[in-house]
A and B are shown apart, each in its own frame.
Chain A
Amino acid sequence: MQAKAKLYPKEAARLLREKPGVREAVTGATLHFEEGRKKAYGEMDAEALRERAKRVKDHLLTHLDQYLELAEKRLREKGVQVHWAEGPEEAHRTLREIVARHGVKRAVKAKSMLTEELGVNPLLESLGVEVFETDLGEYLIQLLGEPPSHIVGPAIHLSLPEIQRLFHGRFGTPLDASPEALAAVARKVLREAFLTAELGISGANFLVAETGTLALMENEGNIRLSTSLPKVHVAFVGIEKLLPRLADLALFLPLTARAATGQRLSTYVSLIQGPAKEGEEGPEEVHVVLVDHGRTTLLHDLEAWEVLRCLRCGACLNACPVYRQTGGHPYGYVYSGPIGAVLDPGLLGLEEAYPLPYASTLCGACYEACPVKIPIPKLLLTWRKRAVERGLAPTWERGAIQAFAKVMESPTLYRLFSKALRGLPLPQDLLPLLRAWTEGRGPLKPSPKPFHLLWQELKE
């Protein structure tokens, strides 16, 4: 996928102006997820489980080469064909070969963020393959030609009336059709696709090295169908998605479900070991494509590698007051919200993702929500520091901060300036820093008394 992260501030402002309904839809959905998570975390010793999950992931990442080789060995023993890809080019080559060898005309696809990174749908379409996104939310945005807006709920930015209009135009359903009726229409189209597709495509929530098990989580059943009905199943797996032992799933499956949607476990979990055995239903071929696409670069980065623990649960998006305003689209890349702000600079390079580390209030809610304790606020500051060092941050900002620091460090200057600011009219439109603030909030008004005086009075 082409990254448009550089446009973040512009796109966020445009969305707030042109689609005010998105804010309401996204806030409603994320608050719902967030309440679910809080309740689900409250049922267990969340702190202990998060710490344990962090430690398992850190062990995995610091032994990644060994576990990747073990996973490959186990997968091959079960008859899975393993491919490696540094990025889209190699992943595409593998997929092209499979499509050609099996004469694939139709593919059913389960939602996967990695396949968004790799541009799997455009590739398949260019090969003349009809691709069906089978997650209901993902299907909606495929019909609209949009990218996902949220890691877990790709269509949370759409309101019911918007979906009713979409289906009215596409399938002729009434404009007041109920969600049940709309889902039934989608179900009919997709059921037909499941039964006729030659290829099923998925990502993976986890790949267990010990047993070569692919673990996939969902609530609808579309992943189970995509990986059961077509004769070929291809799973794209980021190399950081491994877990050491099968029993580690007992920690990670429930923890991910609780963090993502507040469930004790997702409705369906598929644990896939390989192609169907003789006389058994299921795919004749299973392929696993192990994908790097920037992950090894992040592993080299001693200040930023912890982001590789990410389980893609979306909990930090739901907790984030900034994400809630616009949803994921303005972030301009596959991963939005707090995790996108620290993952995208690592995957794309800071030059491509520059404004994202600033898309945060640093309130720390993302860290509290994260099931593997990724220190997102710390990583945001790391990327901001680098942006300043590399001259990516605007020079006026640097100058303004330096001047501000000078003033704050000297009591004499501080008194002088605070007196001047209260006495003189503020040049609201002249300072770009102030303009960014006042545009959405109205003019700044200085307090009649300085803080230290107010504080003194309060104490007396």
Chain B
Amino acid sequence: MDAKSRILSRIRQALKGMPKALLPEHPHPASPQDPLALFLKRLAENGAEGHLLDEEGVRRLLADLAQGLPGAAYGKGVPSAFRLLPEIPPEEAPLGVSRALFAVAETGTVALSSEDGRRTQLLPPVHLVLVEEKRVYPSLLEALLDLKSLPSALGLHSGPSKSADIGQVMVKGVHGPGRLVVAVLQGSW
């Protein structure tokens, strides 16, 4: 017998003597009144920066972040209107710009698909994430229940990379970006 059959047969043997437990239904999420405001508040609490902007506002934010930089790395889904700097590889880029699949208000989270490009999300020290206003879910439960298909990897980012492993002192940007900026785009693109 292979390992799988041996393990499964031992489990079945064990379960014979046990009463089956029922699976509880998912709860009804209690939606916050203003998910957008909550999202920005939670982002700030997580040590990230959040902005609610129109297209022009996003371009201004980008121009601010781009000052003095030689280039940026871009996720596949970032529209050309927001590619103000020349594109350079994520390994060298001082700035990464991604487009989020969705965001979650209650936890201050942006969800990033592997289809957009993982290196851009992780390697540059500053990460700007664009997300459409209508893609901000009040809760993680609602977002997960609404997901129709999953990319090969989905990253939930809720702030800058951090560690307190050295003498319990919080250090930012240990492996991933030390700065996370989120632009919620009013309307759609």
* Interface bits A103-124 vs B (CB < 8 Å: 1, else 0): 0000000000000000000000
Report the minimal beta-carbon distance from A46 to chain B, rounded to whole angstroms: 14
In the bound complex, CA of A190 to CA of B161 (Å):
14
Given known contacts A247-B145, A250-B140, A299-B14, is B157 in contact with A268 (CB within 8 Å)?
yes
Report the minimal beta-carbon distance from A62 to chain B, rounded to whole angstroms: 5
CB < 8 Å neighbour of B152 from A163, A265, A280, A290: A280
30 A-B residue pairs with Cβ-Cβ distance under 8 Å, sorted by A, are: A28-B168, A52-B24, A52-B27, A58-B21, A62-B20, A65-B8, A68-B11, A84-B4, A86-B3, A134-B175, A140-B166, A160-B167, A179-B171, A183-B174, A187-B175, A194-B175, A219-B163, A221-B175, A221-B177, A224-B176, A228-B122, A247-B145, A253-B156, A263-B158, A271-B150, A273-B152, A282-B114, A282-B152, A299-B10, A302-B18
Report the minimal beta-carbon distance from A327 to chain B, rounded to whole angstroms: 13
Q: Are A269 and B155 in contact (CB under 8 A)?
A: yes
In the bound complex, CA of A282 to CA of B113 (Å):
11
B98 CB–A CB distance under 8 Å? no
CB < 8 Å neighbour of A265 from B17, B107, B121, B171: B107
CB < 8 Å neighbour of B20 from A56, A63, A221, A263: A63
A18 CB–B CB distance under 8 Å? no
Q: Are B175 and A271 in contact (CB under 8 A)?
A: no
Given known contacts A160-B169, A220-B176, A273-B152, is B26 in contact with A247 (CB within 8 Å)?
yes
In the bound complex, CA of A268 to CA of B157 (Å):
5
A131 CB–B CB distance under 8 Å? no
Residues of A within 8 A of B10 (CB): 292, 296, 299-300
Q: Are A296 and B14 in contact (CB under 8 A)?
A: yes
Q: Are A264 and B108 in contact (CB under 8 A)?
A: yes
B81 CB–A CB distance under 8 Å? no
A338 CB–B CB distance under 8 Å? no
Residues of A within 8 A of B80 (CB): none
In the bound complex, CA of A134 to CA of B122 (Å):
14
**B169 — nearest CB in chain A belongs to which residue?**
A179
A409 CB–B CB distance under 8 Å? no
* Interface bits B148-182 vs A (CB < 8 Å: 1, else 0): 00111111111111111111110101111100000
CB < 8 Å neighbour of A187 from B147, B159, B174: B174
A318 CB–B CB distance under 8 Å? no
In the bound complex, CA of A55 to CA of B153 (Å):
28
Residues of A within 8 A of B109 (CB): 265
Q: Are B11 and A221 in contact (CB under 8 A)?
A: no
A230 CB–B CB distance under 8 Å? no
Report the minimal beta-carbon distance from A342 to chain B, rounded to whole angstroms: 18
Residues of B within 8 A of A275 (CB): 152
Q: Are B152 and A267 in contact (CB under 8 A)?
A: no
A69 CB–B CB distance under 8 Å? yes
In the bound complex, CA of A159 to CA of B165 (Å):
10
Q: Are A137 and B27 in contact (CB under 8 A)?
A: no
Q: Are A159 and B11 in contact (CB under 8 A)?
A: no
Q: Are A272 and B153 in contact (CB under 8 A)?
A: yes
In the bound complex, CA of A63 to CA of B17 (Å):
12
Residues of B within 8 A of A264 (CB): 42, 46, 106-108, 158
A64 CB–B CB distance under 8 Å? yes
Q: Are B175 and A281 in contact (CB under 8 A)?
A: no
Given known contacts A86-B7, A250-B141, A282-B114, is B175 in contact with A163 (CB within 8 Å)?
no
Q: Are A135 and B165 in contact (CB under 8 A)?
A: yes
A202 CB–B CB distance under 8 Å? no
Listed from nearest, the 10 A-B pairs whose CB atoms lie closest are A221-B176, A160-B167, A137-B165, A250-B141, A58-B21, A269-B156, A221-B175, A84-B3, A136-B165, A179-B169
